Structure 1
Amino acid sequence: MYPNLYYAFKDLLGVEIPFFKLFQTFGFFVAIAFLAAAYVLTSELKRRERMGLLIGIPEKVIVGKPVTMTEVFGHALLGFLLGFKILGIAFEWADASQDLQSYIMSGRGNLLGGLILGGVLGYLKYASGKKQASAKPEEKTITIMPHQRVPDFTVMAAIAGLLGAKIFHNLENWGDFVKDPIGALLSFSGLTFYGGLILASIVIIYYANSKKINVLHLIDSAAPGLMLAYGLGRMGCHFSGDGDWGIYNSSYITDASGHVQLADPSKFQEVVKASEQFFARQYGSLEHIPHAPFAKPGALSFLPDWMFAYGYPHNVINEGVQMAGCGGKYCNVLPIAVYPTPLYEIIACLLLFAVLWSIRKKVTIPGAIFGIYLVLNGVERFFIEKIRVNTKYDIFGFHPTQAEIISSLMVIGGAVWIWYCRKLQKAVKPVS
């Protein structure tokens, strides 16, 4: 596993660059997911604009307006913060055993680096504004097309999505939140995808309505990108080892170096007793450890064992037991291998993205593509929950997880939405 890009470059290329400790693997893939989704959304919006399904609206802009000191100060402040922390990390924070998050949240940094970068960004903003300013600023009316608002959509989705993901995660793990609310809110880990999707959707739809963008065509355009972003985001979960893995596969154990080994069922109990302290801390009792045995079938012998069971060595949350001969911050491995559910979701969501992308031109009912996305995503997540570790609720004798509840609602809501869109199209279709 690669908690941050420093470990990835060290393992894959044999190169140690302390500065890369700044870039968390999970955050890196989340950024890639946003960029990929923005590209797909832009491409699909342009296609619908060429078909006349989406139109732009005129907006007034002031050309030649001089830059304000507030804008200059804002860029200078941003430069100072970046220089203060980034250069501080580059030159002062090089010990792999130190906590990067604590360093970022602290008052430590490189003052000279902050002043230099702050001055540079402030001057560049001033020089750029002065160059574009004219003696007589004039007001012009230009047409803004929907695809030109994708940067706005992306920023809104990033802010609202991360906020929603954090809120839903803490609701799902309320006991942990109550114990340390400040730590839970400021932590870089602990994100629930559906929480982000729900809040981001509300914010973006509200914004689209204010800009007179056809919401049905907008959500259809966004559906393939959302599926792609989910799959890419799960890469961050898998490669960092953030804890979003499955239950234990009791047919496999992990050795001290982190490699998985096929073992008979009796070995499972032996390893549990050997790591009794770890399991007791996790589950309170050795009798309530979630597990299911499944050995790799002979027909699939060509596939690697880690596709069926994985110990997530060097995981970012330091879950498990100490690895032999490892020193530093990330030296834990799960004593019993788990089902690598993020890997399964990566494969499933990339395939489902291909399905949505291939049918987007064939399904002509406005809004239906998004309904199909809801159904596909809900079904995928509902079944993966069967082998995932998650907090469960007690509802009238049933014990569903938050994701199972939401995914079920997504499937039902998606089906109802498709029916409504079909009915809506028939209602507006002219009689021949």
Structure 2
Amino acid sequence: MYPNLYYAFKDLFGLEIPLLKLFQTFGFFVAIAFLAAAYVLTQELKRREKLGWLKGVQEKVLEGQPATNPEIIVNAIVGFILGFKILGLFFQWDTAMQDFQGYIMSGQGSWPAGILLAAAFGGYKIYKRQQTIKNTQQKEKIVTVMPHQRVPDFTVMAAIAGLIGAKIFHNLENWNDFIANPVEALLSFSGLTFYGGLIVAAIVIINYARKKKINIRQLIDSAAPALMLAYGIGRMGCHFSGDGDWGIYNSAYATDSVGKVVKVAPAQFSAEVERNSAFFLNQYPSLDKIPHAAFEKPASLGFMPDWFFAYGYPHNVVREGVQMAGCDGQYCKVLPIAVYPTPLYEIIACIGLFLVLWAIRKRITVPGVIFGIYLVMNGVERFFIEKIRVNTKYNIFGFHPTQAEIISALMVIGGLALIWYCRKNNNSTATAVS
């Protein structure tokens, strides 16, 4: 596993570049996911604009407008954060590099560097305002803004609203952990629920699109392939960093002291559990409550590696597991019993589903249907992967679903309902109401 890009470059290329410790693997893939989704969404919006299914909106733009006081303040705040944390990093390099995430979330930094950069950023904005007032003349201009030109706005809103929603839903699902330490639960980089982010981001973006008079059904159809792709790439961040978002234990496999997966018999599994009882009892009330299911690689799939069926996530970023032999440093833990690598399964499934959506998007012309298909696909995929994932279960009339199972079931029902409604009420693709 690669907690940050330093470990990735060291393992893959034999290069040790300390500066790469600044870039967390999970955050790197999340950024790639947003960029890839933005690109795919832009291309699909442009296609639908050419077909006349999406129209531009005329807006008044004030040219020659100087920077406002709030803009100057925001600029100064950005400068302070960069100076306090980024420049401060060079004054506390050794301490920060031992636990970069802890450094970022702490009160450590350089006050002089923060104040200096705040003054520089704010002062530059003031200077530009004075130059604008002096050299330009304010005038109104009418411009036509096409939907694809609003993708940067969609991306920023999705990032902010998605993060807030993911945190809210995760803490609702893990309420006891939140109550025990609310500050860490809110500020930590781990603990994000995809569906929470999707729901909150969707509400914010749809509300924004209505205000900008964008056809909602065409917009969500355009977004469907992008959302599936983003989810698949985001799961790469989960898998390659080892963020704890893995499956239940595969009791047919254990891991050795250096993290290699090895097959074990049922009796050996029990022995491994007893040997690592301190680790397991820290998470479960008793050893017989450990979620596990044995599945050994079939002989017909002998060409596939064992880690496809069970993985110990050595060097995981959440530092969960037991100490690895011969390893010194911050990330030296491996799970004593291998788990199902569910993020890997979701990467394969979601990239495949993205290709399906991308292939059928030109054939289905009824607005809203593509998004309905996306909801069904995503819901089915997540519902079944939950069967081998570790999550909090609820007790609802004798049933014990997880939060994701509930939401994914509702997505399937909602997707089928949306497909039926859109097909039933469709008059033509060009006149579809939003």
TM-score when scaled to structure 2?
0.94
Residues in 1 aligned to 2:77 and 2:161: alpha-carbon distance in whole angstroms: 24
Where do 1:176-215 residues align within 5 Å?
176-215=177-216
Deviates more, 1:3-12 or 1:308-317: 3-12
- C-alpha displacement at 1:119, in angstroms? 5.0
Deviation per CA, 1:220-252: give whole Å up to 9, x if none: 000000000000010111011111101111111
- Give the root-mean-square deviation of aligned CA atoms: 2.0
Count of matched residue positions in the alignment of Structure 1 and Structure 2 = 430
Query: Which residue in the other structure is 2:417 paired with?
Result: 416
Tell me the secondary structure at the aligned position of residue 287 of structure 1.
helix
Query: Which residue in the other structure is 1:388 paired with?
Result: 389
- C-alpha displacement at 1:426, in angstroms? 4.5
Query: Which residue in the other structure is 2:87 paired with?
Result: 87
- C-alpha displacement at 1:51, in angstroms? 0.7
Query: Which residue in the other structure is 1:307 paired with?
Result: 308
Matched to 2:65, the amino acid is: K
Where do 1:231-270 residues align within 5 Å?
231-270=232-271
- C-alpha displacement at 1:111, in angstroms? 4.0
Query: Which residue in the other structure is 1:151 paired with?
Result: 152
Residues in 2 aligned to 1:97 and 1:318: alpha-carbon distance in whole angstroms: 16
Deviation per CA, 1:10-65: give whole Å up to 9, x if none: 22223333332222111111111111111111110011111111111111111112
Deviation per CA, 1:383-404: give whole Å up to 9, x if none: 1011111111111111111111
Query: Which residue in the other structure is 1:161 paired with?
Result: 162
Residues in 1 aligned to 2:119 and 2:91: alpha-carbon distance in whole angstroms: 20
Residues in 2 aligned to 1:96 and 1:235: alpha-carbon distance in whole angstroms: 26
Tell me the secondary structure at the aligned position of residue 337 of structure 1.
strand
Instruction: Indicate yes or no: 2:52 matched with 1:15.
Output: no
Tell me the secondary structure at the aligned position of residue 303 of structure 1.
coil
Where do 1:19-34 residues align within 5 Å?
19-34=19-34
Matched to 2:393, the amino acid is: K
Residues in 2 aligned to 1:72 and 1:231: alpha-carbon distance in whole angstroms: 39
Cα separation, partners in 2 of 1:278 and 1:144, compared to 1, 3 Å: same
Matched to 2:180, the amino acid is: K
Deviates more, 1:351-360 or 1:392-401: 392-401
CA contact (8 A) 1:247 1:292 kept: yes
Matched to 1:394, the amino acid is: N
Query: Which residue in the other structure is 1:425 paired with?
Result: 426
- C-alpha displacement at 1:68, in angstroms? 3.7
CA contact (8 A) 1:19 1:90 kept: no
CA contact (8 A) 1:96 1:329 kept: no
Deviates more, 1:291-300 or 1:71-80: 71-80
- C-alpha displacement at 1:316, in angstroms? 1.1
Gap regions ≥5 residues in structure 1: none
Deviation per CA, 1:201-221: give whole Å up to 9, x if none: 011100000000000000000
CA contact (8 A) 1:323 1:332 kept: yes
Tell me the secondary structure at the aligned position of residue 200 of structure 2.
helix
Matched to 2:102, the amino acid is: S
Deviates more, 1:196-205 or 1:81-90: 81-90
- C-alpha displacement at 1:428, in angstroms? 9.2
Residues in 2 aligned to 1:8 and 1:96: alpha-carbon distance in whole angstroms: 19
Query: Which residue in the other structure is 1:77 paired with?
Result: 77
Tell me the secondary structure at the aligned position of residue 194 of structure 1.
helix
Deviates more, 1:310-319 or 1:97-106: 97-106
Tell me the secondary structure at the aligned position of residue 141 of structure 1.
strand
Residues in 1 aligned to 2:218 and 2:128: alpha-carbon distance in whole angstroms: 37
Deviates more, 1:223-232 or 1:288-297: 288-297
Percentage of identical aligned residues: 69
CA contact (8 A) 1:96 1:328 kept: no
Tell me the secondary structure at the aligned position of residue 227 of structure 1.
helix
Deviation per CA, 1:169-192: give whole Å up to 9, x if none: 011111111111222111111010
Residues in 2 aligned to 1:130 and 1:253: alpha-carbon distance in whole angstroms: 67
Gap regions ≥5 residues in structure 2: none
Cα separation, partners in 2 of 1:278 and 1:266, compared to 1, 3 Å: same
Tell me the secondary structure at the aligned position of residue 310 of structure 2.
coil
CA contact (8 A) 2:10 2:16 kept: yes
Query: Which residue in the other structure is 1:398 paired with?
Result: 399
Residues in 2 aligned to 1:151 and 1:53: alpha-carbon distance in whole angstroms: 21
Deviates more, 1:115-124 or 1:255-264: 115-124
- C-alpha displacement at 1:288, in angstroms? 1.2
Residues in 1 aligned to 2:149 and 2:271: alpha-carbon distance in whole angstroms: 60
CA contact (8 A) 2:2 2:240 kept: yes
Cα separation, partners in 2 of 1:12 and 1:95, compared to 1, 3 Å: farther
Cα separation, partners in 2 of 1:384 and 1:62, compared to 1, 3 Å: same
CA contact (8 A) 1:85 1:109 kept: yes
Query: Which residue in the other structure is 2:108 paired with?
Result: 108
Tell me the secondary structure at the aligned position of residue 243 of structure 2.
coil
Cα separation, partners in 2 of 1:257 and 1:181, compared to 1, 3 Å: same
Deviates more, 1:159-168 or 1:291-300: 291-300
